[in-house]
Amino acid sequence: MMTTDSFVMPFSEGSADQKSLLGGKGANLAEMTRIGLPVPPGFIVTTDACRRYMAEGGSPAGLFDQVDAALADLEAQVGRKLGDPESPLLLSVRSGAVFSMPGMMDTVLNLGAMPSTADGLAKLGDEWFAQDATRRFLEMFGRVVLGVDAEGFDHNVEQANEAAGVASERDLTVEQLAEVVAKHRQTIADAGKELPEDPRDQLRLAIEAVFRSWNGDRAKAYRRIENIPDDLGTAVNVQMMVFGNLGDRSATGVAFTRDPATGEKVHYGDFLIGAQGEDVVAGTRAVEHIDTMGETFPHAKEELEETLDTLEQHYHDMCDVEFTIENDKLWMLQTRVGKRSAAAALRMAVEMVDEGLIDEVEALKRVTTKQLEAMLHPRFGPNAPEPITTGLAASPGAAVGKVVLTSQEAKERGNAGESVVLVRPETSPEDLEGMVASVGMLTARGGLVSHAAVVARGLGKPAVCGANELKIDAKAGTVTVNGTVIHADDIISIDGTTGQVVIGEVELEIPEDDPNVAKLLTYADKQRRLHVWANADTPEDARRALAAGAEGIGLCRTEHQFLGDRLPLIRQMILSKTEEEERAALEPLEAQQKEDFEAVLEVMDGKTVVIRLLDPPLHEFLPDPLELRLKEASEGLDADEQKLLEAAEFYHEHNPMLGVRGIRLGILRPNVYAAQVRAIIGAAVARKQAGGDPRPEIMLPLTATSQELAWGIKLIHDTAKQVIEESGVEVAYTTATMIETPRAALRARELAPQVDAFSFGTNDLTQLTFGFSRDDVEASYIPAALEQELLPVDPFRSLDPAGVGRLVEMAVTEGREVKPDLVTGICGEHGGDPDSIHLCHRVGMNHVSCSASRIEVARLAAAHAAMEVSGPGSTA
């Protein structure tokens, strides 16, 4: 059958925008040719041909006629011929897929170097070069194309080296090399393979071998990891060989248009004199920096510098290149947009905007949220030892300190200036002060939304949680990990960005305050539509959040204000038997909360501060009844302790997560909520009197029914009205409900008219939608389910788009149907997760709220969402 399909394209006819047809390497070789850079001539066998080869189980009709024609043109252009004994042309045959798959597919170099062409090759270099090229060709062709075991070739070379008493084949004589060549041919024959003598046949077989390597095990595994589709196929680049190994007037090297580690605008690279490309990669000989290249190759150096500038101006990005100098003549063998460190990505993006090379939108596309994250926190340096265990990366940053096993000790020693890492089975609100005084937290239990994780992120401190290999014995003062015993006071290092735990001191990389971060984020702020608010409980949290760019507070958790030296006050309230006792106990709490709110409202003057009324079950403020029972049995309890024990047992719940908390607690203890509302409105009044612009929003947690919400809203309005009337100061406030039960999402139409705002508490909403108790599943079931692909993502890390996300979208949409100006936001920790932010953008939320340490990343992610740049590993 006749075919008019075009399977071959010379470099001189292609361009960079034809990557899917020509592969990445081929398209860039064509582009470099097109803009006049010194590229050894050649042609590309297209991915179409590869796809047809795979579909038909053999090369498509017409392919090799086209290859022969392209080869004839190439021979005419360079004045040498493949297989010509007088003036032989040697070819490189290299794979080149659409997406770079470094080292995954096959290559044949020096094709055309045969004993029959040795004399002609010797004229190009010398006799040694001719024999060496033939040796290299037979090894590669034998292994890659004919499938001969590499061991046989290695053995031949080793034997020759031994017999000659030299360390390397580079020291063999011409005659000795010729013997190796003869042995290699015998090895191929012994393996039952036939080596075609005609280089044209070799070329055909080499092209087909590259096609087949697309489906090699290595390549397939790589594509699975990198999410590259299996049906793209690879192109094959057939190119005139140039030689960096012709002696001291030749060299080979790699270079970058800017420093790929720092991003500095200087050329960067290495080269080796008298070597071929694989010698540079193998790292067996010491390379020289291109700065010194001018001493040996002044002309080539100048041309390389110009070429690097041309490439960067042309691609508007940092490029890397492979080059060869053959007898002082520079040749470009490859270019592509270069890989770079996080620091370099950021610096280059910002500087290229300043240079007018790219615009701000393009700069934003070039920095991933992961790269930004890496720039913001300390992390383990490159020489960190193997971790002893790895837990969940709960709060970013790294820390080094002495192991301390109780919060009390952490508080004392930390406040005294020691660097301590608090190591606990898990933490509770009572541990807060110890956590504040520590440089980092390590827990054996609990997931990404466990108390330790949430508090650590709020504090901006590193935490590794759920490291379930830790066996902590606080009494004995030891932590055992897989048989290794760590003692209290031993130094450990934790990296909350990776979850790694290392015994001893790890050298940390501390990010400097990088002005490029601020600059990139101003670009992001212009692009994003989502506002970024903070979860912040204290004036210090609020200040940190403001500095990171927070535009409001989306969640101020009042319960954290009940801890520390105020714990006795709230316990007094819990223990009160009569309404009078309760009111008396609430009075000082109310006064203190008013001060707290005033301080937060002052920091956030003119910005919304969403204050959530008391949420956790009361037993969280009480001691563990088991411990009290033990103490009762051993040394007895005093009267106060006896009361606490009774209360702790009274408030004990079988499943506190689903028990009396949130608005349910408010309904059972209405005076508590009323006191909190008085404190909030009272604080606003005081701020107003001081000339401020307070904007409190009062939020009810865990609502499930519209009647519950109506009850809560009435309490808020009645109480606020009273405070406002008493003060004679007119203050404005707004109201919100959290949407964190599936029922609330389902009844959004009834809830929306009652409030100004919905705030999605996606931690609880995820728990309740899946029926997961997060503390029980996050370190056990979820990793197993992820591994068996029963869950697409960890729903506590990244909002589950198909289930929880659907509830969220429905509640936003239906809430706005009945109340078009309804403000919607998310205040679960998902608010700082880039993929979840994409979802929030897509469903049309007004804002995301997250801990201060995640605000910068959220700003970039919100910009990416608005620009429809999917985050890395995006599932939204």
Residues forming contacts to Mg ion in the complex (CB under 5 A) are 740, 761, 764
Residue 36's CB is within 10 A of a number of other CB atoms, namely 9
Short-list 58, 162, 773, 864, CA closest to 527: 864
Smallest distance from Mg ion to CB 762, Å: 9
Smallest distance from Mg ion to CB 803, Å: 17
In terms of Cβ atoms closer than 10 Å to its own Cβ (0-12, 13-18, 19+), residue 652 is middle
Whichever of 446 and 761 has its CB closer to Mg ion, that residue is 761
Catalytic residue among 50, 465, 556, 827: 827
Backbone conformation region of residue 844, classed left if phi is above 0, alpha if psi is from -120 to 50, else beta: left
Contact between residue 106 and residue 210 where contact means Cβ atoms under 8 Å apart: yes
Whichever of 764 and 856 has its CB closer to Mg ion, that residue is 764
Token digits for 836? 């979840």
Cα 632 from Cα 641, distance rounded (Å): 9
Token digits for 1? 């059958």
Contact between residue 799 and residue 808 where contact means Cβ atoms under 8 Å apart: yes
Residue 65's CB is within 10 A of a number of other CB atoms, namely 12
Cα 738 from Cα 610, distance rounded (Å): 11
Smallest distance from Mg ion to CB 53, Å: 57
Smallest distance from Mg ion to CB 740, Å: 5
Cα 695 from Cα 353, distance rounded (Å): 38
Whichever of 438 and 741 has its CB closer to Mg ion, that residue is 741
Whichever of 320 and 764 has its CB closer to Mg ion, that residue is 764
Contact between residue 320 and residue 256 where contact means Cβ atoms under 8 Å apart: yes
Residue 768's CB is within 10 A of a number of other CB atoms, namely 22
Rg from Cα positions in the chain: 35
Short-list 562, 564, 613, 614, CA closest to 588: 562
Name the amino acid, one letter, at 431: D
Short-list 624, 653, 628, 652, CA closest to 640: 628
Burial 111-143 (b: 16+ CB within 10 A, else e): bbbbebbbebbeebbebbbbbbbbbbbbbbbbb
Contact between residue 599 and residue 539 where contact means Cβ atoms under 8 Å apart: yes
Strand partners, 45: 8, 236
Smallest distance from Mg ion to CB 612, Å: 9
- In this structure, is the dihedral angle defined by the CA atoms of residues 149, 155, 160 and 164, taken in order, positive or negative? positive
**Strands 398-404, 484-487: pairing kind:** unpaired
Whichever of 360 and 740 has its CB closer to Mg ion, that residue is 740
CA 238 to chain centre: 37
Whichever of 394 and 494 has its CB closer to Mg ion, that residue is 394
**H/E stretch holding 326:** strand 319-326
Catalytic residue among 451, 531, 830, 847: 451
Strand partners, 501: 389, 494
Token digits for 468? 């379930």
Backbone conformation region of residue 354, classed left if phi is above 0, alpha if psi is from -120 to 50, else beta: alpha
Within 141-198, where are the H helices? 150-164, 174-190
Q: Which residues contact 725 (CB under 8 A, 6 or more apart)?
A: none
Backbone conformation region of residue 718, classed left if phi is above 0, alpha if psi is from -120 to 50, else beta: alpha
Look at residue 194 and give its three-state secondary structure. Answer: coil
- In this structure, is the dihedral angle defined by the CA atoms of residues 340, 343, 344 and 347, taken in order, positive or negative? positive
Phi and psi at 492, nearest 5°, equal -130, 165
Smallest distance from Mg ion to CB 25, Å: 52
Look at residue 497 and give its three-state secondary structure. Answer: coil
Look at residue 593 and give its three-state secondary structure. Answer: helix
Measured distance between the N- and C-terminal CA atoms of the chain, rounded to whole angstroms: 47
Q: E-strand spans in 339-396?
A: 379-380, 389-390, 392-395
Cα 275 from Cα 279, distance rounded (Å): 6
How many helices and strands in the chain, by DSSP H and E?
35, 33
Smallest distance from Mg ion to CB 556, Å: 14
Q: Is 451 assigned a catalytic role?
A: yes
Tokens 């949290």 locate to: 541
Question: What is residue 386's DSSP assignment?
Answer: P
Whichever of 433 and 764 has its CB closer to Mg ion, that residue is 764
Q: Could you please report the per-residue DSSP string of 308-323?
A: HHHHHHHHTS-EEEEE
Residues known to be catalytic = 451, 827
